[in-house]
Amino acid sequence: MSTLDTLLLSAEQLERYRTLLADKGLATKQPLRIPARAPQARTPLCSYQEPLWFIDRYAGGDTAHNVVYPMGLPEGEIDEAVLLLAVARMIERHEILRTTFRQDADAVVHVVHDCWPPVLERVDLRPLPEALRETSGWKLVDKEAAHQFDLEHGPLIRFTLLTMAPGKHVLLVSLHHIICDTWSVAIIDREVRIHYDDILHGRPCSIPPVAVQFPDYAIWQRSQCDSDRYARELSYWVGRLEDAPQLQLPTDFPVPQQRSHRANNSLVLVPAPLLEKVKTFAQREGVTLYMVLLAAYKIMLSRHTGQTDIMVGTPHANRERDELRDVIGFTINSLVLRTELGDNTPFREAVQRVKTSALEAYEHQDVPFQAVVEALGTRGKGQQLSRYSLFRAFFSVQNIQWADIQLPQINTGTLHQKPRFTVPHPTTKYDIYMYLRERDGKVLGGLEYDVELFSQARVERMIRDFLRVLEQGVDDSHVGIHELPLLTAEELAERQAAQRGKACAGGPPTDIYSCFEEAVRRFADQPALVDEGTTLSYRELASACAAFAALPQRADREPQRRLGILADRSSGMVVSLLAALRAGDLSMLLDAAAPVARIEETVQAHGIEMLLCDAEVDIAGTVPQHLISRQAQAGCGAKTLRRHIPAQTPAFVFMTSGSTGVPNAVVLSHAGVLNGQLAQTCPHPIGPGDRLLLNAPTSSARLVGELLWPLLNGAAVVLCRPGGHQDPIYLGEMLQQHRITHFSVVPQVLSVLLDERLLDRCPELKLVYCVGQNLDGQLTSRFAQASRATLYNSYAQTEACPVSFHACDGSEGEGLVPVGRLAPNTVLHVLDAYQQPVPTGVTGEIAIGGASLAQGYLGNPRLTAEKFMPDPFGEPGARLYRSGDLGTWNERDELVLLGRSDHRVKIRGYRIDLAEIEYALTAIEGVEEAVVVVSASPHGEPILLAYVKAQPLSVEKVGRLAQLLRARFPVKRKTVQAPLSEQLRTVLQAKLPFYMVPARIVQLDELPRGRTGKIDRVALAERESPQEAAGTKPDGTPRTDLERQLIVIWRDVLDLPAGQAIGIYDSFFELGGHSLSAVKIVKRIQSELDVKLEVRYVFEAVTIAGLSELIAWTCDTSSFEDIEL
């Protein structure tokens, strides 16, 4: 971008602006005249110039702030000598044009030179063919835009005379922004023409002397920074912006670490008929054209982001003082216009809100923007702020009266497609910048954008939506801003067609076990289940299910029983599950890795009547009347009753994390589960001879697909050992040993499989599902090089599974990979906050419908009504599940996931509600407040961090937790001798599954808050390195031989320098640990210490201290879970 274009007012508009201020009680006082500086006075930079000097020094020759202006000269022959004299006279009148800058001991100062004769470079393009002249002219313009000005030695203004054709000339004027702004360019344009005409006709200078020189203004402006009024205005800006939310515009490409800020521009045109309607509306509402256009821009941004608190930067000329109207120099200040648009505010009210925020900003315009940034950086979020932290979108409307910018020749070709007031610059200082100018009965301008972030197609859609909001808003100003349609009727019809998966008939309604019986009939002697060397055929598996006598018989009319299944992956778990389906009971799958306390809470909360479990699980504290272990299931001769039940009968209940501390129970019906599992509805083939590696946790709804999909279609299921799904080395061995053809994997584990080249040895692999988290394009490219199998990026929810799939071919490039097209009989909408479909590229909440939809939440009608809503676009009775996931449609009508609208996340494939962890923390005596956020480890893996305001735990005050803390930590004088963070993690390990225990808990004296008093989660998530409150850093010296051995293993595996100290409380993740290093640590421990561990123990323990305790408990065959809570 070449200039900070500004809202500049004519005399009539300026008077109207002052009237508006007076109406708001914000009328400005008449300022005192700027005094001339004393001779030889030291002249520092004005506050607005300082950032430009810093950027030039920091960037080592900044060209982003070059200004290039092609000035069309009158047709006819140009007297070059007279033109040079005209330029020299202008430079003589304005000191800033003969100024350089010097760094003194304590400041940067202006160095005004007595004389600086201009140089006029001449380029004659007439010898070139006519078709090439314009292109060559633009190349010269680009060359000037890339010129590196030397701020210390000058000159900072250059002139090039282009002869385009006989009698047609263009004067290229190029300057550095530190000595000019857009207003200044208009002055240069006017003065060169007048001086040329005066000299050519022998007249003295006809322009009045300059009232004040820019160095005089710089001294005066700096003096204003010490006034009481300045302090009040600065306080206003800090209060207004300290909790300002960043604009979260969705991008088309990942944000590079080192941005080049390359720019492009797209045309914005408000045609004359629409402009007339806008002006009529503005006059009726008592606002300016600028305010209406800005409101439409902000509403468009709100619709594209889903945010209602919108901040946009805008330039302010600072030329209200009469003596500054003819001064060349950089006086522009950037103002931040923050507008709370509210919930579906009528358009006319939104315009009034924009008016109010604009007038308040103008009243406080004298504080330099850099001073606001610095004040917020020390008083705001506790981190280094920048302009980019406050606004990423910029907006301006220019009303400068130019002498004549209709350029001959060079302006007759492409310039009308890039209507800038100076030449478009190859770089930009903002993510997006809309610049407009009223001219010839229409508004013309462009939308400048960073090409590293946005595609041209997205930018064109933003312009289209801006114009639609503007036209519909002024036509019907009482309509809510979120009810203004962004899609035409034709576009809406096309969108709805893309939002429905292929309709497939699934056969007559039936229950799951009937489909399994059909598979047994067809594939009786084919292998069905492989578990640690034992293989069961379909016939044998069915016989085992029939002989499963653990389920007491019940009368035909007796209601469904709620059966809890607490077992890890094993043939016994599969038989229990199928036997429950055979008996028509409701299977409620529990997490075998969860602490006993959590299992007890779940059993009680959801009325589980019978618990089927592994023999080794201690269930003494649970409450069902029937507690049946695997040992009790063996050796019984009776058979389970076979019951045929309706297809809509509930089949499974899966637990998901809930904000109240008790897991939510999602109910899936037989019909819903069968959609997508049978050959006629399954989007991908599987059958006899295929082998699927089942590695889904038993508490995950993925288990349904990984078990039933192969078993209903004649393929074999190979069971992964407990804990094996987190061990990429083990998974690679299983893939090779069992000649696996199908399996699912989370991205982190897939990355390790590729790193270790484990897929190279799996030629029979056909299909891999990437599940649980977003997949990036670099991973798909690596997979395509390593395997001939098809990689699918999939999307599913416990409440709706499956949803969509995307077949990756390795050409996805960088960034997020789509989750593709919809599964059969599936409906999906991307909706805004008002249940309106969003256009392509716009972010919204994903709402899922169709045959796979869950029935709701067991025993929780309130939550069911909240999350499952009537489908406003479907048949009567159809429902949609509001997933909370954010997504968008790309140009190919494929769904792209963009995160969450709430505090739910996925870590290593596990769905986690952060509020549940916060609930568990604040339930601990002494913890006053707690916030959990997602951060990234040094290797980029997502991890949980908790920030707490808490008092030290005392064994006298924590009641039932005292025994737990004494079991792990020494206690001295009733005080636990361990860091508070480790104490809290220990308590959480007894309450929550390991994947929900934060990797680190940081104690703070106070949690950061915004101006409304709410905890600032963004500030916590953006903390570069979590630091605990003073005095809480624990002594990390190893206490035992085991801890010393573990330090050696960690140092070797993590490849840490010999001189780097490792403490027993240092975080595995902060030391650079990741999934593969966790696997290697476990293997070293198993080899050197002869201790059998699961990989999850490293993630659970996080520190050497925690891991040593887990090893000690493993060897001692006891656990703190035995302690009654």
For residue 1038, say if its preceding peptide bond is cis, omega within 30 degrees of 0.
no
Q: How far apart are the first and last CA of the chain?
A: 64
Least confident of 68-72, 115-119, 123-127: 68-72
Any residues with CB less than 8 A from the CB of 1022 and at least 6 apart, and which?
381, 383
* Residue 259 vs residue 355, higher pLDDT: 355
Tell me the CATH architecture of domain 904-1122.
Answer: 2-Layer Sandwich (3.30)
DSSP state of 1123: S
pLDDT category at 351 given cuts 50, 70, 90 is very high
pLDDT for 384 beyond 80 = no
pLDDT for 213 beyond 90 = yes
Distance set, CA 345 to CA 289, 470, 480 (Å): 20, 15, 5
Q: How many CB atoms lie within 10 A of CB 555?
A: 7
Instruction: Indicate the length of the chain as a whole number.
Output: 1125
> Which pLDDT value is given to residue 984?
85
> Which pLDDT value is given to residue 413?
33
Average pLDDT over residues 762-775: 88
Distance set, CA 662 to CA 81, 613, 991 (Å): 86, 21, 11
* Residue 230 vs residue 1030, higher pLDDT: 230
Tokens matching residue 114: 């007595």
**CA contacts within 13 A on the Cβ side of 832:** 26
What is the maximum span of the chain, computed from C-alpha positions, in angstroms?
121
| Rounded distance between C-alpha atoms, residue 707 and residue 751, angstroms | 24
pLDDT for 461 beyond 50 = yes
Average pLDDT over residues 433-439: 90
pLDDT in tens, 607-657: 888 888 875 555 544 455 556 665 555 545 556 678 888 889 999 998 888
Least confident of 570-579, 771-780, 858-867: 771-780
The DSSP string of 26-77 is -PPPPPPPPPPPPTT---BPPTTTHHHHHHHHHHTS--TTEEEEEEEPPSS-
CATH topology of domain 50-218: Chloramphenicol Acetyltransferase (3.30.559)
Place of tokens 């000191």: 95
| Rounded distance between C-alpha atoms, residue 978 and residue 1103, angstroms | 13
pLDDT for 166 beyond 80 = yes
Instruction: State how beta strands 691-694 and 534-537 pair.
Output: unpaired
Please say whether the beta carbons of 281 and 458 come within 8 A. no
Please say whether the beta carbons of 550 and 579 come within 8 A. yes
| Rounded distance between C-alpha atoms, residue 1052 and residue 121, angstroms | 65
> Which pLDDT value is given to residue 275?
95
Distance set, CA 1092 to CA 723, 1074, 1108, 1119 (Å): 11, 20, 13, 15
Question: Which residues partner with 448 through β-bridges?
Answer: 265, 433
**CA contacts within 13 A on the Cβ side of 794:** 25
Question: Which residues partner with 333 through β-bridges?
Answer: 316
CA proximity to 654, closest of 785, 796, 516, 823: 796
pLDDT averaged over every residue in the chain = 82
Residue 636: φ, ψ to 5°: -100, 135
The DSSP string of 568-625 is -SSHHHHHHHHHHHHTT-EEEE--TTS-HHHHHHHHHHTT--EEEE-TTS--TT---S
pLDDT in tens, 306-329: 889 999 999 988 888 888 989 999
| Rounded distance between C-alpha atoms, residue 987 and residue 974, angstroms | 17
What pTM did the predictor assign?
Answer: 0.74
Domain ranges of the chain: 50-218, 260-362+369-486, 904-1122
Least confident of 586-600, 641-655, 819-833, 898-912: 898-912
| Rounded distance between C-alpha atoms, residue 440 and residue 435, angstroms | 16
Place of tokens 């009567």: 876
SS3 per-residue string spanning 433-502: EEEEEEECCEEEEEEEEECCCCCHHHHHHHHHHHHHHHHHHHHCCCCECCCCCCCCHHHHHHHHHHCECC
pLDDT category at 419 given cuts 50, 70, 90 is very low
Tokens matching residue 610: 């019978």
Distance set, CA 720 to CA 210, 712, 725 (Å): 84, 19, 7
* Residue 522 vs residue 1099, higher pLDDT: 522
In the three-class reduction of DSSP (H, G, I as helix; E, B as strand; rest coil), residue 536 is classed as strand
Please say whether the beta carbons of 652 and 587 come within 8 A. yes
CA geometry: angle 247, 252, 258, nearest 5 deg: 75
Any residues with CB less than 8 A from the CB of 630 and at least 6 apart, and which?
567, 572, 613, 614, 615
Return the CATH number of the domain spanning residue range 260-362+369-486. 3.30.559.30
Same fold across 50-218 and 260-362+369-486: yes
Average pLDDT over residues 459-477: 95
pLDDT category at 958 given cuts 50, 70, 90 is low
How many whole angstroms from its chain centre is CA 787? 31
pLDDT category at 708 given cuts 50, 70, 90 is very high
Question: Which residues partner with 791 through β-bridges?
Answer: 768, 808
> Which pLDDT value is given to residue 916?
85
Question: Which is it for the CA torsion 76, 77, 80, 85, positive or negative?
Answer: negative
Please say whether the beta carbons of 572 and 630 come within 8 A. yes
In the three-class reduction of DSSP (H, G, I as helix; E, B as strand; rest coil), residue 314 is classed as strand
> Which pLDDT value is given to residue 713?
93
pLDDT for 882 beyond 90 = yes
pLDDT for 563 beyond 50 = yes
SS3 per-residue string spanning 1086-1110: HHHHCCCCCCHHHHHHCCHHHHHHH
pLDDT in tens, 666-696: 999 998 888 878 766 677 889 999 999 999 8
pLDDT for 85 beyond 70 = yes
Distance set, CA 1000 to CA 109, 933, 948, 996 (Å): 49, 11, 11, 11
pLDDT for 897 beyond 90 = no
For residue 993, say if its preceding peptide bond is cis, omega within 30 degrees of 0.
no
pLDDT in tens, 469-503: 999 999 999 999 999 988 888 887 777 777 777 77
| Rounded distance between C-alpha atoms, residue 72 and residue 423, angstroms | 13
pLDDT in tens, 243-294: 788 888 888 877 776 777 788 889 999 999 999 999 999 999 999 999 999 9
Question: Which is it for the CA torsion 653, 658, 660, 662, positive or negative?
Answer: positive
Rg (the chain; Cα; Å): 35
CA proximity to 904, closest of 558, 593, 664, 563: 664
Q: How many CB atoms lie within 10 A of CB 206?
A: 9
Least confident of 220-224, 849-853, 979-983: 979-983
Buried b (16+ CB within 10 A) or exposed e, 90-122: bbbbbbbbbbbbeeeeeebbbebeeebebeeee
pLDDT in tens, 963-983: 666 666 666 666 766 778 878
